[in-house]
Structure 1
């Protein structure tokens, strides 16, 4: 491997977005992290002026021209840039001139600030999930032990009752003890190791799609927006179906309760490259988004949405999203939620390279 290829390999595996522009401020290189930031492939971007890739303060920064002409490096914090698709990002960036026979080339490192905030939030969410699982396991132990004693005592008492009619009371005790035990088991989520195998995420989504299409009977428009280039991932197909189905059914129930005419759920898949999830960076992630156009989730529920028994619906149990998050945690992934009136998005992030160990 040549020195140039070695340097390119290092840049390609950085989580920091790096671009290189020549002395005329034309793009000559983007690493994969930059392609993700700008939502633009390198083949299309190479050769274009940098101000076609993004706009800062509605113009090409004068400081960039000075850096290219005189070789002056500079750093800018919390700069708002506008991307070709119209979206806005807050980034920190550093411009470092490199002298070549053709003049100064600029190596630019960009660090999205909004992504750093999301990483911090993901770390907090993962820590909350771990704490919550420990709490629920302890609570389950404390509840199930006395429940077993209550149920056993009721069965013994039932055998000693002199009248058959009195057994109605012991049957109530036994059935309620069983109901509470089942509730605790559901709060714990899946209790077995994932049965990992290679699977196509679109096969999982198509299974959920078919179930929801049959249940909604055409009252809700279901939209597919798949990335066919996604490679297979390693996971438990049944558990992933359960996680996605819990999310989609929640969306379906909210839409059915709303009075709006246009009801729509979108299934979207994308790949995420060089993506930091919590404290761990992954070379490639599978991103599944479930989007509905319902009334949205109340802001006061968003922070505790994945806690057991938290629900905004009177007849809801508040366990579906908690179980879905537990399943994603077993796959070393995460579920995020963004919501506003007219759009609720659940984003499932699943590493395409699973670690060897498995966790309950």
Structure 2
């Protein structure tokens, strides 16, 4: 809110207005009103309350359009200008729509998985019974195919259902051991032309979340990064970076501090037309993909109150996972540091192509 007199001089502004204009109270009051609100003089010339959008010149030299309402505050000509950040409102509305869509998709997937899983159990049982009565090798081979495909579909339905099972409210995890476990799994199939770089903040505190589910989250992201490099037909770099970030926006809103884990690759990037839908179920960039990996990542992360972000262009793709920190009273020990191959200060290389920074 901003208070002005009949001549358009700024009299006062609150903390929210300071944030919107990017100026301190002292700086704003020393700045001519016309320099902050170019359209304010026109608004002051109108009688009664005025509503609409108004341009705001920020301290950084950018112009932002905000919803505004100008109304009289006293008979002495003092008027109050109420500002609403349209960008923030639109982002909240967009986030709400995305949550509704994801919730609807999650309900559809859960119901579909249950409908598939129940008859699969009967098919598997019947095939096992049939196999015990067969002697012909060709018949046994056919039954074996039925059983193996049934098991595959049951594993797939389990993958669909697992992120939607409620997590313990007091679940907490140390991220560095989780990421080191992911690194050991990924290194088994790491091509010689690909370098895996670890850039860890070893002072990272514990976060809210289940270690097994978070392991699956980062394994999915690391695997996606490796597959992206494979699609471009050459080598490259996958970088896993951990940091503490300030003023982060998580599932329930902004927080002062959060843990950030970034999985970055220098592959071809996610096509622009898919970036808005990449976390939806059944959306994939690979012809042979199921389109479930990133949907499960988002479900798992949001299940512990976190958020997932994507930044992508050719040559640089970053999936950023933001997680809430565990309450201090639940953390009585120093987080485990990674194993002895992970030093904290200087970059080093290991024979498997993994480098730590």
TM score, norm. by length of structure 1: 0.64
Could you tell me which runs of 5 or more consecutive residues in structure 2 were left unpaired when the two chains were aligned. Answer: 328-357
Residue 195 (structure 2) aligned to one of 192, 216, 219: 219
Structure 1 stretch displaced more, 124-133 or 245-254 = 245-254
Q: Residue 30 in 1 paired to residue 6 in 2? A: no
Classify 1:264/1:346 alpha carbon distance in 2 versus 1 (closer, same or farther; 3 Å). closer
- Whether the 8 Å CA contact 2:69–2:81 is kept in 1: the answer is yes
CA distance in 1: counterparts of 2:36 and 2:62, whole angstroms: 17
Structure 1 stretch displaced more, 20-29 or 175-184 = 20-29
Q: Residue 91 in 1 paired to residue 66 in 2? A: yes
- Whether the 8 Å CA contact 1:21–1:50 is kept in 2: the answer is no
TM score, norm. by length of structure 2: 0.65
Residue 179 (structure 2) aligned to one of 191, 199, 208: 208
Q: Residue 270 in 1 paired to residue 238 in 2? A: no
Q: SS at 2:26's partner residue?
A: coil
Q: Residue 330 in 1 paired to residue 330 in 2? A: no
Cα displacement string for residues 33-56 of structure 1 (whole angstroms, at most 9, x for unaligned residues): 964x67x6xxx935324698xx99
Q: Residue 161 in 1 paired to residue 146 in 2? A: no
- Whether the 8 Å CA contact 1:67–1:97 is kept in 2: the answer is no
- Whether the 8 Å CA contact 2:18–2:25 is kept in 1: the answer is no
Q: Residue 254 in 1 paired to residue 228 in 2? A: yes
Could you tell me which runs of 5 or more consecutive residues in structure 1 were left unpaired when the two chains were aligned. Answer: 1-17, 355-360
Residue 171 (structure 1) aligned to one of 133, 144, 165: 144
Structure 2 residue aligned with 1:240: 214
CA distance in 2: counterparts of 1:316 and 1:30, whole angstroms: 49
Q: Residue 304 in 1 paired to residue 277 in 2? A: yes
Cα displacement string for residues 120-163 of structure 1 (whole angstroms, at most 9, x for unaligned residues): 22112211222112211221222222222221121111121134
- Whether the 8 Å CA contact 2:182–2:218 is kept in 1: the answer is no
Structure 2 residue aligned with 1:61: 37
CA distance in 2: counterparts of 1:347 and 1:88, whole angstroms: 29
Residue 262 (structure 2) aligned to one of 285, 290, 303: 290
Structure 2 residue aligned with 1:321: 294
Classify 1:87/1:232 alpha carbon distance in 2 versus 1 (closer, same or farther; 3 Å). farther
Classify 1:47/1:210 alpha carbon distance in 2 versus 1 (closer, same or farther; 3 Å). farther
- Whether the 8 Å CA contact 2:244–2:259 is kept in 1: the answer is yes
